[in-house]
Amino acid sequence: MPSASASSPPAVLLLLLLFLLAAGCAAAAANETQRFRPGAELRRYRRVQALLRRLNKPALRTIQAPLSAPLCLLACLQSPDGDLIDCVAAHLQPAFDHPRLRGQRPLEEPPARPKPRGHRRRPNDTADAGVQLWAASGVSCPEGSVPIRRVTEADVLRASSVRRFGRAPSARVRRDTVAGGHEHAVGYVAGDEYYGAKASINVWAPTVSTASEFSLSQIWVIAGSFGDDLNTIEAGWQVSPQLYGDGAPRFFTYWTTDAYQTTGCYNLLCSGFIQTNTRIAMGAAISPTSAYNAGQFDISLLVWKDPNHGNWWLEFGSGELVGYWPSLLFSHLASHASMVQFGGEVVNTRASGSHTATQMGSGHFAGEGFGRASYFRNLEVVDWDNSLVPLAAGFHVTADHPNCYDIQGGVNAVWGNYFYYGGPGRNVRCT
């Protein structure tokens, strides 16, 4: 019979195991210390809280977004967008943190609206997607206040950095070559003086593959070069999981005066845009949305320069003034725009090593036509005389990667200038 000592591990082996275990624990502890870095985490926490205090102004009333539909069961506690809307005194909104706007109040005199020379609406084919989920029950903010989507700590922590929260990555306007992973399918006019633009934009809920990507459809009003002095005013709808935390299409605005470097932001996430409307919240979800081979819904947007005061105003739907960008924010756009773009954009991070599957528009190519492909219709610009005019012969359509997202333009008596656009992203011809 073997002795007890023969079946036990040698003492040297035990010591070696204990040494390896201790070394592993020490390495793990070092990794944990390096990963958590209490000092850095505390500084980041303080920056986040300071940003939230700056953006979330004292509310006269807070509105919880209602249940989205009667089919919502008892377990459904909030609407899909999950928004809290704060009714903030209009003169306390973030715009008036701007040094040149501090102490001012929103303009009360309505701007001189462009004289319409529009087209008849195509009957029975489309309807307005003009309702935001938070206001589905008809609720609005009291007079003297504006609805502002509350920014949460989770919103800020999803951003690439606290400093960049609410700001767009660079290369947001189409150039001759694609930069920064941004891909476009757009129509545009250039080479004249433009004082605004108008279009009806088909609303969908495209799939976005990763949180750091987005898909949008918008109007760009542009001045300056494509260098550091680029000025833009932008409005449309976008799906951006990183910015909003979900996959819903949301009404948004943007502006910059230095090519997205340090100026401008989405919606009201910095000082600049002055909101005047009590019923529309920028960054809130749009409802309803279009469906393949089913109902089609669009939003009408108009951006124009008030000839009396020089500010750039935004109208949503039929005569619903949202607010304005003060002329003093801009350099080139203080005078007029030199280009107008309409269309779609996605970010392609190639996270999986191949082209993204993030969809543009409906996620279907332009050739599928009405009810399947996404569209812009009744495209117009505002001229020097504050008149809405159809696009001239110089209107062009172009797509950066037509095997991934494409565009087809046309003109008819009902839709005026229009185009279909979009696509699925990654497919057998787009890798």
Predicted confidence (pLDDT) per residue in 180-194, tens digit: 689 999 999 999 999
Q: How would you classify the pairing of strands 145-149 and 131-132?
A: unpaired
Q: What pLDDT band is residue 116 in, cutting at 50, 70 and 90?
A: confident
**Whole-angstrom Cα distance, residue 219 to residue 361?**
14
Q: What is the pLDDT of residue 406?
A: 98
For range 170-177, the mean pLDDT: 50
Residue carrying structure tokens 């605004």: 196
Q: What is the pLDDT of residue 54?
A: 94
- Pick the catalytic residue from 183, 213, 315, 345: 345
Residue carrying structure tokens 């191949």: 354
Give, in degrees to the nearest 5, the angle at Cα 394 between 389 and 398.
Answer: 115
Distances from the Cα of 372 to the Cαs of 72, 136, 363, 367, in angstroms?
28, 27, 9, 9
Torsion of CA 229, 232, 237, 240, to 10 degrees: 10
User: For 14, phi and psi rounded to 5 degrees?
Assistant: -60, -45
Q: What is the pLDDT of residue 402?
A: 98
Q: What is the pLDDT of residue 319?
A: 85
Whether a cis peptide bond, with omega within 30° of 0, leads into 288 is: yes
- Pick the catalytic residue from 213, 234, 315, 380: 234
Distance of CA 422 to the CA centre of its chain: 17
**Whole-angstrom Cα distance, residue 185 to residue 346?**
9
Catalytic residue flag (residue 345) = yes
**Whole-angstrom Cα distance, residue 2 to residue 49?**
69
Q: What are the structure tokens assigned to 128, written together? A: 């307005």
Q: Lowest-pLDDT range, 136-145, 302-311, 385-394, 407-416?
A: 136-145
Sign of CA dihedral 387, 388, 393, 399: positive
- Given a cut of 80, whether residue 271 has pLDDT beyond it is yes
Asked whether 148 and 88 are in contact (CB, 8 A), the reply is: yes
Percent of the chain with pLDDT over 90: 71
Q: What is the pLDDT of residue 134?
A: 84
List of residues 6+ apart from 424 with CB closer than 8 A: 357, 359, 363, 364, 365, 404, 430
Average pLDDT, the chain: 86
Q: What pLDDT band is residue 81 in, cutting at 50, 70 and 90?
A: low
- Given a cut of 60, whether residue 36 has pLDDT beyond it is no
**Whole-angstrom Cα distance, residue 213 to residue 357?**
10
For range 371-381, the mean pLDDT: 97
For range 145-154, the mean pLDDT: 96
Q: What are the structure tokens assigned to 353, written together? A: 């090593």
- Given a cut of 60, whether residue 124 has pLDDT beyond it is no
Q: What are the structure tokens assigned to 73, written together? A: 């069961």
Q: What pLDDT band is residue 64 in, cutting at 50, 70 and 90?
A: confident
Residue carrying structure tokens 């319409």: 116
Sign of CA dihedral 378, 417, 430, 167: negative
- Given a cut of 60, whether residue 119 has pLDDT beyond it is no
Catalytic residue flag (residue 153) = no
- Look at residues 3, 65, 53 and name the one whose alpha carbon lies nearest to residue 283: 65
